Each structure stands twice: as C-alpha cells, then as structure tokens.
Amino acid sequence: MRPGVVAALVSASLLVLGAAPAGAGTPPLPVRMADTGGGTQLITAEAPRTGATTGTVSWWDRRGGQWVRAGSAPARFGAKGLVEGTAREQGTNTTPTGLYGLPFAFGVQPAPAGTSVRYRRVHQDSWWCQDTASFAYNRWTEPRPADCRAAESEHLMAYGTQYAHALVVGFNYRHPVRGRGAGIFLHVNGAGATAGCVSVPAEAMRRILGWVRPAARPHIAIGTTGGATAITRY
C-alpha cells in the first residue's frame, strides 16, 4: 500500500528499547489476547481507537512460559485509521486489524545485521502487484507481469525511505480476496500517516528485523485498545 500519503504532525517520542514489564498488576498484552499465533515471538501494533493514526508497536518474546517485551516504538497507521480486516476495502487508506503471519522481509537497503528472516532485496524491476485483475494480485513480482498495470501497483524502488526495510504483513496474502487490499507492510516511517500499513522509526525497524526469528513462528497483531477491533480479540 502506497506509504506516506498524508503528512501529519507526530509528537516526538523516544524509542523504548529493551525488556520492560507491564504496569503493576496488569498482565502483559499477549497474555490478554485471544490468540498469539502459537509461536514464541509476537509484534503488537495498538492504536487508542479506530480513527487514530498513531499508536505503539511492541515486540515480545515468550521465555520460560512468560511473555516479555523486548522493545517498543511509536507507530503510525492508515490516514483513515483502522478497520476490521475482514471488512476492509482496497483504496480506503485504512489499516486492517487482526492477527497475521509475516511471510518475509524486504528492503531497498541491505538486511540489517543479525537478520535471519528471509530477506528480498529491492531492485529496479521489483513491484508489488495491486491490480485486482491480475493473477499476481497481492504478490511481489520481478519483473511486473503484463496483466498487472503499473498504475495499479507499487514500484518498490520508488519508496527508498519507507521501504529501506520492511516486513510483509500476511493480510489477504495466503488466499487473496480481490478488492480487500494488497501490499500491507510493517515499514519505516514516511512523512506522515500511511495508506494502510504500519510504520515505525528506522532504528526500530532495523531492531525488529534483527530480532525476529523464523523458528519462533512470529506473528503481528493489529488492533485498538478496546471496542470491536480490540487487539485482545485476536
């Protein structure tokens, strides 16, 4: 999803990196969730409400039967906020809520030190097809196939800042529903709110890629602090 479509003022926030306990008497967020994907690593992207364009991304490890926060950072969401993933429509600039896998990582820049997840380097002919009429809908293509219109797709090299490093979010990925949305990533911040992705500062994105391990079956949960799209539902 094309990033940085709306410039927005975002309050300056410091990265909170390193393990940190939840508030006194409050179980860690993953403990309060209905499902964490069954692995031992989890990324949570939480907004205060569906209309919000900012929130917090945290990454967690399950150690000795306990969830421990490994780090957190300020996050940005879609310019039109968040919406239930199963009801999302393409082109609405909304971030889909839900629990998703992380198929692979990619970037215009080389993989950060320590990256073990599959990492694809962006080249001049790398595209993400968003054309609902294409057989390659919601897929990385290299080169762009004839049935995938450039005007309906993302030329990944064109977003050197946002796609310096990114993780593919498995929204609408395994069995794509045409028109629900394509190209949802966790990527580096652009100028403001996203067109549906989740973004974090560049340093946080590098740390996440160095932290995530395929053997830990990592997932990302996206949601709000309460209501019908509460992150604890997923």
From first to last of its 234 residues, what are the pLDDT tens digits of the chain?
655 544 333 333 334 444 444 445 789 999 999 999 999 999 999 999 999 999 999 999 999 999 999 999 999 999 999 999 999 999 999 999 999 999 999 999 999 999 999 999 999 999 999 999 999 999 999 999 999 999 999 999 999 999 999 999 999 999 999 999 999 999 999 999 999 999 999 999 999 999 999 999 999 999 999 999 999 999
User: What does pTM read for this prediction?
Assistant: 0.91
Given this model, what pLDDT does residue 25 score? 78
The β-bridge partners of 166 are 106, 187
Given this model, what pLDDT does residue 17 score? 43
The β-bridge partners of 98 are 222
What residue has token string 């198929």? 103
Cβ contact 55:73 at 8 Å? no
Q: Which of 211, 214, 199 is nearest to 70 (CA)?
A: 211
Q: CA-to-CA distance for 159 and 216, rounded, in angstroms? A: 30
Given this model, what pLDDT does residue 101 score? 98
Given this model, what pLDDT does residue 3 score? 59
